[in-house]
Amino acid sequence: MIKIAVCDDEKYYADQISQEIQKHGRKMGLKLSVDVYYDAAGFFEGPIESYQILFLDVKLQNGESGIELGKKLREKSSRAIIIYVSAYIEMAPMGYEVEAFRYLLKKDIEKTLAYTLEDAIAKLHKQNYNYVIRTKGKTQTLPLDEILYFESYKRYVTIYTSHENYKQYRKISDLEQELLEYGFGRIYKSYLVNWKHVQTIENGKALMDNGIRLTCSRTNYQEIIRQYILWVGRES
């Protein structure tokens, strides 16, 4: 069951978005749960941390704006996919403050919601992909989203996350093929990074979320930058 919330103080649009989500969800054969809120207060009284996809109005009349709602969710480390809706295109840049997935104009909802929902579901499936580690007779799983990068040394790879590191026997070339579609890229013969956790690439190095700077291949440097820019473009 995929849990979705809609928050818009204009009842007409809130109900329209909910109906469109449910209509296209049925066409896609998905099991969806859609909760509708008409103000920020009601939204925060709900099970906000359980929602996987959120459709938020950028400008709410009473209380906080959709941007402020998004910031509070991110402070709670929410991985929810945020989609903003508004009557005004000029407010779209505000969504970047909370890593919004998409920005929809209310007048185009009937045209744009279907493929936006499909893209959001596809991203959700990638987020939920778990990487399996088998080492020393034990098996455990890591959410792929939590992995910062892989580093290879001789016949082993070290898996770096924000909270712990793991080591296993794997070829980094095999990992590259396995994880390419999930937003990972090879920046050096010994490094496979999660583009999501790359802050910037400059002066021949990739700055990771944990502050570590990883060396990029000189030979493939322009291709590495191109791949990173393409990933940023797809996510924004």
Residues 130-145: tens digit of each pLDDT: 888 877 777 888 888 8
CA nearest neighbour of 158 among 182, 143, 145, 175: 175
- More confident: 59 or 224: 224
Closest CA to 116 of 145, 141, 85: 85
* Poorest-pLDDT segment among 116-120, 199-203, 217-221: 116-120
Question: Which has the minimum average pLDDT: 25-34, 112-121, 135-144?
Answer: 135-144
Is-contact 228 205, C-beta < 8 A?
no
Average pLDDT over residues 53-62: 83
pLDDT (0 to 100) of residue 70? 82
Question: 3.40.50.2300, 3.30.465.10, 3.30.365.10, 3.30.300.30: which CATH number matches 2-127?
Answer: 3.40.50.2300
The mean per-residue pLDDT over the stretch 98-103 comes to: 82
Band of residue 211 on the pLDDT scale cut at 50, 70, 90? very high
pLDDT in tens, 79-94: 789 999 988 776 556 6
Asked whether the beta carbons of 172 and 220 are under 8 A apart, the reply is no
* Assigned fold of 130-235: OB fold (Dihydrolipoamide Acetyltransferase, E2P) (2.40.50)
Stretch among 4-13, 20-29, 71-80, 224-233 having the lowest mean pLDDT: 71-80
Q: Where does CATH 2.40.50.1020 sit in the chain?
A: 130-235
For 133, residues 6+ apart whose C-beta sits below 8 A from its C-beta are 139, 140, 141, 142, 159, 166, 168
Q: Which amino acid is at 118?
A: E
Contact 216, 183 (CB under 8 A): no
Please state, in angstroms and rounded to a whole number, the distance separating the CA atoms of residues 88 and 105.
7
| CA dist., res. 47 & res. 51, Å (int) | 7
Q: Which residues pair with 141 in a beta bridge?
A: 132
Q: Where in the chain is the domain with CATH 3.40.50.2300?
A: 2-127
Collapsed DSSP state (helix, strand, coil) of residue 204 = coil
